[in-house]
Structure 1
Amino acid sequence: MTPANGSPVRVGVFGLLGSGNLGNDGSLEAVLGYLRAAHPEAVVDALCGGPEVVTARYGIPATRLHWYRGEYRTASRAGAIAAKGLGKLVDAVRTAAWARRHDVVIVPGMGVLEATLPLRPWGFPYALFLLCASGRLVGTRVALVGVGAAPIGSRPVRTLVRWSAGLAAYRSYRDAPSRDAMRAMGVDTARDEVHPDLAFALPTPPASAPSGPSGQVCVGVMAFHGGNDDRARAEEIHRRYLDGTIRFVRALVEDGRPVRLLSGDEVDRPVVAAILDAVDSPLVTAAEAASLADLMKETAAADTVVATRYHNLICALKVGTPTLAVSYAAKSEALMAQMGLDAYCHPAREVDADRLLEQFRDLEKHSAELRRTLAVRNLAAARQLQHQFTVLTAALFPATDHAHALREAP
């Protein structure tokens, strides 16, 4: 795949990648798989949160997203505040210079157009705006591929998100509510498509004999403190979530069920530790997952999954395990509806252990039927993502040789 001048196409990937969030890295892995299959001659590198991890894990050169290494730490001293402010100026120059070296930059999945978790405008929203504005200035096509979006209460965050989306050369979303949210913010979405989350394009681990204990339940947990508009109640929300989850796990153990705790980000570890400490039982163990492939293996070995993090849900659904979502955002409910399990959602802000247990037992009662439903929905997701990648090739690489492009599935 080469443009008219005969040189390989230069593709950048951008985002909070390699920073400890398994879902973000899974989206990157899916896009790299597409590029290697459809455009194997492309030269790929990253501007990301964890460059060392990205290079070691995926074998591509990577540059740190922010010049100031303390970007996501709270700055209280004058020196740190000044350094952070200087970093914003330096990042404007760095981002433009990096974008200029590429023909195409892809932002792979992730909730880059939402604020369902606490978010400051001058953190990632500013970084994304710099990328999209730089792309327009230097003539580099920026593509937001399979991203998540949601209504945003904070005016500065909402403005930066709207500007970023409007400046991008290509947009697609992982669910219909994301596209609706961007339309409500004033972005013209008439040509934007909706496809399943990019993680559904990842390989599914080969089927094998169950490796977990009989009756095992995977419980995916999260350091949940509410969203961007809940900062004043963050600790109250977290305590209620944690207490309800502990009660639910304890009830499973009292029924003799082995419980395997899952997380999806390094920040979730204290939650796992708190549950292990509160429910002191050999029936409760914690998984050490380093990728979505690891999470898929864990969820495939379970009879049932109850999970909060979005990509914990995806992994469980993708391997066909009946799943109950402890939902903290509309994206989880949209995902469950897409996969035919919309009846099995429980609010993360108001975890009621008794009600959660009722829903869990109903889920298990209909397990065989739900496994059949998931098999059908997963085939549909795979076909839709094949179409996504075909459309992406046509949109981003119109002047290239498409001999290696993926064929669109019937």
Structure 2
Amino acid sequence: MKTAPRVGVFGLLGSGNLGNDGSLEAVLGYLRTEHPDAAVDALCGGPEAVTTRFGIPATRLHWYRGEYRTASRAGAIAGKGLGKLVDVFRTAAWVRRHDVVIVPGMGVLEATLPLRPWGFPYSLFLLCASGRLLGTRVALVSVGAAAIGNRPTRALVRWSGRLAAYRSYRDAPSRDAMRAMGVDTRRDEVYPDLAFSLPTPRASAPSGSPGTVCVGVMDFHGGNDDRARAEEIYRRYLDGTIRFVRTLVEEGRPVRLLTGDQCDLSVVAAILDAVGSPLVTAAEPASLADLMTEMAAADTVVAVRYHNLICALKTGTPVLALCYAAKSDALMDRMGLGAYCHPAREVDADRLLEQFRDLEKHSAELRQTLTERNQAAAQQLADQFAALTAALFPAADPIQTPRKAP
């Protein structure tokens, strides 16, 4: 008698980042459709939120509850240090209970935003090492990767990649980055981000007159290598965004501010305070579905966060990207909007407005392009899930013959 597969999902899930939770939602949709008998649970950053929203058991990622607070006192430093040791055994014990562990999307192999090696990179390494030692297949599915300057972080990411049983990437630069860091990627494939498999709300028909512009914001201070000028980067990004929003308001355009993480609320407050117009309002999205609903009703989107861009692209709404990493440029190029990228570290409000006006001028043809690219992305993800079943659930009945994504 065949036993139900025991599947774990792992990551910074339930911690307030809508993109991460959207990736989890996509994988759970796949499991519930193709492997409905699977027993699924999570090891994650926000177990209570994951259980409440997705209905699966969840365990806290770190033993030490103050993991994400800065440790300045001796007791806190000792607690963090002890937690790193305890997590070795906690992670191994959790991995041992599963046949398969899936890391659903996310930028788990990159350092494009500030992080320390002893944070998530260490946790991911423990997961992949435990899987290899205990015979549990660990799959990094449509993940993001990028070149990493910090040597300890790079070493942990490299070994995590090497120890995983399955790897696929959400863009070609991610695969190239892992190859450059010493991982054999010859059998690794590139597929779209998992969020492209989520349901999409119906977009509103263009009204013919200028309508709402959604502006996705981010508490952006640069990446790991920008710590020395983090405040300068943030100020330039915020000032440029405020100038852009103020110009739209002066032209009578309604602006809807959107976030992708709880930390972005301070940016929303700063823009509302600086512009001070009833034409500027803020949404409170709790999921990628909420973001897509907002964007489907808009004429145009300008956004920073990677999954805000995906939500706009999925709804077929023309979007201008403020890019802070190569993944954003690669995404926009893949979806046919490569000309509409602007550097988040060097926001120039005049140039941004020029690109925005050109985007709106070509709105109709861009919407048609997005319709075609979204259809291709959906098929490529169906192929990815078929390949995932073949790799991780060899006893399962085949769904279809996997076809490699281009």
TM-score relative to the length of structure 1: 0.96
User: What are the superposed Cα offsets for residues 163-202 of structure 1, whole Å, 9 maximum, x if unpaired?
Assistant: 0000000000000000000000010000000000000000
User: What are the superposed Cα offsets for residues 10-62 of structure 1, whole Å, 9 maximum, x if unpaired?
Assistant: 00000000000000000000000000011000000000000000000000000
Match of 1:53 in 2: 49
Q: What is the distance in 2 between the residues matched to 1:409 and 1:155?
A: 36
**RMSD of equivalent CA atoms:** 1.5
Q: What is the distance in 1 between the residues matched to 2:400 and 2:3?
A: 21
Which residue, 158, 165, 170 being the options, matches 2:166?
170
Q: What is the distance in 2 between the residues matched to 1:291 and 1:209?
A: 23
Match of 1:402 in 2: 397
DSSP-derived class of the 1:45 partner: strand
Match of 1:296 in 2: 292
DSSP-derived class of the 1:37 partner: helix
Which residue, 229, 234, 241 being the options, matches 1:238?
234
Report if aligned partners of 1:386, 1:409 keep a CA contact under 8 Å in 2.
no
1:62 and 2:48 correspond: no
Match of 2:73 in 1: 77
State the percentage of identical aligned residues.
82
Which residue, 152, 155, 160 being the options, matches 2:156?
160
Which residue, 70, 85, 94 being the options, matches 1:89?
85
1:180 and 2:154 correspond: no
Q: What is the distance in 1 between the residues matched to 2:264 and 2:251?
A: 26
Match of 1:123 in 2: 119
AA at the equivalent of 1:204: T
AA at the equivalent of 2:334: Q
User: What are the superposed Cα offsets for residues 372-398 of structure 1, whole Å, 9 maximum, x if unpaired?
Assistant: 000000000000000000000000011
Match of 1:106 in 2: 102
Which residue, 343, 346, 363 being the options, matches 1:350?
346
Give the drift of 1:205.
1.5
Report if aligned partners of 2:301, 2:317 keep a CA contact under 8 Å in 1.
yes
User: What are the superposed Cα offsets for residues 212-231 of structure 1, whole Å, 9 maximum, x if unpaired?
Assistant: x9610000000000000111
Per the alignment, do residues 242 and 208 of structure 1 end up closer, same or farther by CA in structure 2, a change over 3 Å counting?
A: closer
Which residue, 23, 28, 38 being the options, matches 2:19?
23
DSSP-derived class of the 1:285 partner: strand
Give the drift of 1:409.
8.4
Report if aligned partners of 2:203, 2:297 keep a CA contact under 8 Å in 1.
no
1:333 and 2:334 correspond: no
Give the drift of 1:73.
1.0
DSSP-derived class of the 1:293 partner: helix
For structure 1, list consecutive stretches of 5 or more residues without a partner in the other structure.
Answer: none
1:287 and 2:249 correspond: no
DSSP-derived class of the 2:320 partner: strand
Report if aligned partners of 1:386, 1:406 keep a CA contact under 8 Å in 2.
no
Q: What is the distance in 1 between the residues matched to 2:88 and 2:268?
A: 38
Greater RCO (Cα-Cα under 8 Å, separation 6 or more): 1
Which residue, 198, 201, 204 being the options, matches 1:205?
201
Give the drift of 1:209.
6.5
TM-score relative to the length of structure 2: 0.97
Report if aligned partners of 1:11, 1:42 keep a CA contact under 8 Å in 2.
yes
AA at the equivalent of 1:338: R
Report if aligned partners of 2:203, 2:316 keep a CA contact under 8 Å in 1.
no
Report if aligned partners of 2:102, 2:138 keep a CA contact under 8 Å in 1.
yes
Runs of 4+ in 1 over 2 A off after TM superposition: 206-211, 405-410
1:359-370 equivalences in 2 (<5 Å): 359-370=355-366
Match of 2:246 in 1: 250
DSSP-derived class of the 1:121 partner: coil
AA at the equivalent of 2:319: T
Give the drift of 1:401.
2.8
Report if aligned partners of 2:389, 2:396 keep a CA contact under 8 Å in 1.
no
Report if aligned partners of 2:204, 2:296 keep a CA contact under 8 Å in 1.
no
Give the drift of 1:6.
2.5
Report if aligned partners of 1:37, 1:406 keep a CA contact under 8 Å in 2.
no
Q: What is the distance in 2 between the residues matched to 1:370 and 1:10?
A: 43
Match of 1:40 in 2: 36
Give the drift of 1:72.
1.2
Report if aligned partners of 2:206, 2:299 keep a CA contact under 8 Å in 1.
no
AA at the equivalent of 2:234: H
DSSP-derived class of the 2:84 partner: helix
Give the drift of 1:407.
7.5
